[in-house]
């Protein structure tokens, strides 16, 4: 069965500091994609970053980077130089080439001024 686990229900970080949000996954498939989304209190879903299972380099998008450790089945999101606007719910998700996908339960990040 495919499963995403986000073990941190809530995280706090000081403004301008870096924070790591944990994501572990379970699948026996060899081909999959890992995604991170941000959901602010307004409710929309915002795509942040993608990592393919065959990608050898860790993905980066601006202040976001994905620490991909395939052998450990982890795909942690690192946010550098946190901003107040980063306060939101963050979801890790996995999708497969047949189209099926699964999401974790999310981590609420609060950035303190």
Partner 1 sequence: NAGVTQTPKFRILKIGQSMTLQCTQDMNHNYMYWYRQDPGMGLKLIYYSVGAGITDKGEVPNGYNVSRSTTEDFPLRLELAAPSQTSVYFCASSYHWNTEAFFGQGTRLTVV
Question: Is residue 95 at the binding interface for partner 1, with CB under 8 A as the rule?
Answer: yes
Tell me how far, at minimum, the Cβ of 2 lies from partner 1, in Å. Answer: 9
Give the CA distances from residue 11 to residues 21, 28, 109, in Å, rounded to whole numbers and listed in that order. Answer: 8, 30, 5
Closer residue to partner 1, CB minimum distance, 57 or 113: 57
Question: Is residue 62 at the binding interface for partner 1, with CB under 8 A as the rule?
Answer: no
Tell me how far, at minimum, the Cβ of 15 lies from partner 1, in Å. Answer: 25
Distance between CA atoms of residues 12 and 18, nearest Å = 11
Closer residue to partner 1, CB minimum distance, 51 or 82: 51
Distance between CA atoms of residues 51 and 85, nearest Å = 24
Distance between CA atoms of residues 113 and 107, nearest Å = 19
Question: Is residue 59 at the binding interface for partner 1, with CB under 8 A as the rule?
Answer: no
Question: Is residue 41 at the binding interface for partner 1, with CB under 8 A as the rule?
Answer: no
């Amino acid at each position: 069965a495919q499963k995403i686990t986000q073990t941190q229900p809530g995280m706090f970080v000081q403004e301008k500091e870096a924070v790591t949000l944990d994501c572990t996954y379970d699948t026996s498939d060899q081909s999959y994609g890992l995604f991170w989304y941000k959901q602010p209190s307004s409710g929309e879903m915002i795509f942040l970053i993608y990592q393919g299972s065959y990608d050898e380099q860790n993905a980066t998008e601006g202040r976001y980077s994905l620490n991909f450790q395939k052998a450990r089945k982890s795909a942690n999101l690192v946010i550098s130089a946190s901003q107040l606007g980063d306060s939101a719910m963050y979801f890790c998700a996995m999708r497969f080439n047949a189209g099926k996908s699964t999401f974790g339960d999310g981590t609420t990040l609060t950035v303190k001024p």
